[in-house]
Amino acid sequence: MRTQFTVTKLTMQKVQLRMALFGPTGSGKTYTALTMACALTPGNVLIIDSERGSASRYAIQFGGKDGRVDH
């Protein structure tokens, strides 16, 4: 059995960030995720909160100043 491979030049491609934040309760995962998301994109940010509203603690810092973060 013969396997064929295609060889191409390596070029830059636009890719999406894949990232995981982990740590114990209260270690700042939500705050860090919001900070990084706002720093990485000039557009709007949508946060999906799976921890009973933990993101709402940061409404003034991230939602109020420029309205970029939606919940």
> Mean pLDDT for each 10-residue chunk of the chain (71 residues)?
87 86 90 89 84 82 74 76
Inter-residue contact 55 to 47 (CB < 8 Å): yes
Q: How many CB atoms lie within 10 A of CB 3?
A: 4
Check residue 65 and give its pLDDT. 60
Helix or strand or coil: residue 26?
Answer: coil
d(Cα 24, Cα 71) in Å, to the nearest integer? Answer: 23
Check residue 68 and give its pLDDT. 77
Check residue 24 and give its pLDDT. 92
d(Cα 52, Cα 54) in Å, to the nearest integer? Answer: 6
**Could you give phi then psi for residue 35, rounded to 5 degrees?**
-60, -45
